[in-house]
Structure 1
């Protein structure tokens, strides 16, 4: 384990394996060189880049069990070429992230954090808070209609909002309107929600063109990956009122957040807490453990990623 993870992972793995806690070593590189020939599995939570050089260090490595749905910090294609399994933790966080997404959208449209600050500062005593925008009459576009994207869409259907989406391909079993280009989707809607994973394919695809298409009444919400957004273009779109507002749970250089965004009163910023409830994080941690236990029991991985397919 290169960096510390939740107690459910540490305790669960210590009960089953010899767990090498790299973060406790005075000299981490020296410690990893010392134990490299023994390591068959790695458990990590996004703190460590797993590329070809990392894999080269561990000649007996069989599996990397990752905490979270996104695994853009792992070169899973390279792992697949080497026969190294990569697993993640899908499904157990779907509802939590979808709930947070809807909450972030409402908070952004109705300016809930700003209203809260207004009251706490005693300004309600002076005059009522200004009127806000509304969800009524809006159309929603979703970038990345996977498990979480579909869960968000189902929730927003309950608000009476029409749903459209963009992805690599049209999904045959989905009734929502499909747009083959992201700019086309943005032009057709006034709320754009990104649930897209980080990858070379999605890097900075939400750009100035997309924000212009979204328009001056547009709301942008991102709960996927910060790398999907051209952050300087987003800042300029917010500054110039090319779009109305944004609600962001992810950023380009986490945990560092651009001062320009922090200084903007009309945006809502969260510190990547989409799945951050006690129950959900416990379930994610347990799945990290369960993948490793299942693999070393000879039963195969429970949740392999697409780049490293495995047939039981």
Structure 2
């Protein structure tokens, strides 16, 4: 009889159908598990699959007394209480680097669309204003990317993909992360503030956590200057959203490109009204190739777990 695996987050069936060939899936469709399944069913669940950003705390784990493996679909695991999992001898796995190229592509898409004012120029053509030679103050020439200083906050797999793409556009790349990498040809800045002071395009590619919550605040945004841009493809919690809105409205910075938000799927209404913002619905890793790779990591983790082996993509609690 196949091992039972709980689908804890709300995930489209297209993302989980590969798992059904190997495991007996219990799909909670994102609802509280105790509302969807009887206690005796939940008592048989030893492993679950979750989206990394979905809150999974100690009390949630305690509803599954046999739980010993939490497998995140994707690279993120910020929703999982790692300390609570470790205290209960629950291993946590993810899909590191599986979607890095796809997220890197979206970062560049947002960067270029924001700097070259896609939300302005697209309707300028569609409305007929261009054909009518109607002047627009928003159509003044922007600064280009070549020669610009682009700072990347976080230099993991995704940060590296972004850096390579940015460098190909003839921009200068600098970064700040917890680790300085001697094998990289990019400039290392000793602090987040130093990175913001050095660059005018600030790309967020860091993992979310208590140490990164709202670190991109009003003071840091001010360091970017009136020609500065913010691009976020990591987690919305890294940015102080009210501070970002204020900076955009006052033109303390030039623009922002955002794929993530603090309370998804709700982007702040103030952001949706601004012409100097490009918004996408957390699509960074949403390509066919990324999903195939992430599903392979999930299958590898689950297969190893049920075989009594070490997870090939284990996340460790470091604090």
Whether the TM-score (by the shorter chain) exceeds 0.5 is: yes
How does the TM-score come out when normalised to structure 2? 0.90
- Match for 2:94 among 81, 84, 88? 88
1:196 paired residue number: 206
Q: State the 1:148 CA deviation.
A: 0.6
Q: Which residue of 2 aligns with 1:125?
A: 131
Name the residue aligned to 2:108.
Answer: 102
Count of residue pairs the alignment pairs up: 308
Match of 2:273 in 1: 263
SS of alignment partner, residue 37 of structure 2: helix
Quick one: structure 1 residues 263 and 279, their matched pair in 2 at CA, closer, same or farther if it must change by over 3 Å?
Answer: same
1:37 aligned partner: 43
* Partners of 2:289 and 2:278 in 1: CA distance: 25
Alignment match, 2:3? none
What's the secondary structure of 1:19's corresponding residue? strand
**Equivalent residues of 1:205, 1:229 under 8 A apart:** yes
Query: Is structure 2 residue 291 aligned with structure 1 residue 275?
Result: no
Distance in 2, matches of 1:222 and 1:47, equals 15
SS of corresponding position for 1:293: helix
Shift of 1:221: 0.5
Partner deviation per Cα, 1:21-41 (whole Å, 9 max, x = no partner): 223999853625342211100
- Higher mean Cα deviation, 90-99 or 126-135? 126-135
* CA gap 1:27/1:187 in 2 versus in 1, 3 angstroms: closer
Query: Relative to structure 2, which stretch is displaced further, 193-202 or 283-292?
Result: 283-292
Contact 2:119/2:276 (<8 A) preserved: no
Partner residue, 2:8: 2
Match of 2:153 among 143, 156, 160: 143
The alignment status of 1:134 with 2:144, answered yes or no, reads yes
Deviation digits for residues 92-118 of structure 1 (CA, Å, limit 9, x no counterpart): 211111111111111111112321122
Give the one of 74, 79, 92 matched to 2:80.
74
Q: Is the 8 A contact 1:9 1:288 kept in 2?
A: no
Which residue in 1 is equivalent to 2:25?
Answer: 19
Q: CA 1:294 to 1:122, structure 2 compared with 1: closer, same or farther past 3 Å?
A: same
Q: Secondary structure, in 3 states, of the residue corresponding to 2:29? A: helix
Bigger CA drift: 71-80 or 198-207? 71-80
Query: In structure 1, what is the equivalent of residue 117 of structure 2?
Result: 111
Q: Secondary structure at the match of 1:221?
A: strand
> Shift of residue 190 of structure 1?
0.7
2:70 corresponds in structure 1 to 64
- In 2 relative to 1, CA 48–147 (structure 1 residues): closer, same or farther, beyond 3 Å? closer
Q: What 5-or-longer segments of structure 2 have no aligned partner?
A: 1-6
Work out whether residues 2 and 43 of structure 1, in 8 Å CA contact, stay in contact via their aligned partners in 2: yes
Distance in 2 (CA, whole Å) between partners of 1:8 and 1:288 is 14
- The answer to whether the 8 A contact 2:53-2:80 is kept is no
TM-score by length of 1: 0.92
Distance verdict in 2 for CA 1:68–1:32, change over 3 Å: farther
Question: Deviation string for 1:193-242 (max 9, x for gaps)?
Answer: 00111100100000111111111111111111100001111111111111
Cα drift, residue 297 of structure 1:
1.9
1:176–1:30 Cα change, 3 Å: closer
Q: Classify the secondary structure of the residue corresponding to 1:20.
A: strand
Q: Distance in 1 between matches of 2:313 and 2:206?
A: 19
| Higher normalized strand content (fraction of residues) | 2
**Contact between 1:9 and 1:286, CA under 8 Å: does it hold in 2?**
no
Q: Indicate the SS of the match to 2:26.
A: coil
Q: Tell me the C-alpha RMSD between the 2 structures.
A: 2.1
Aligned to 2:260: 250
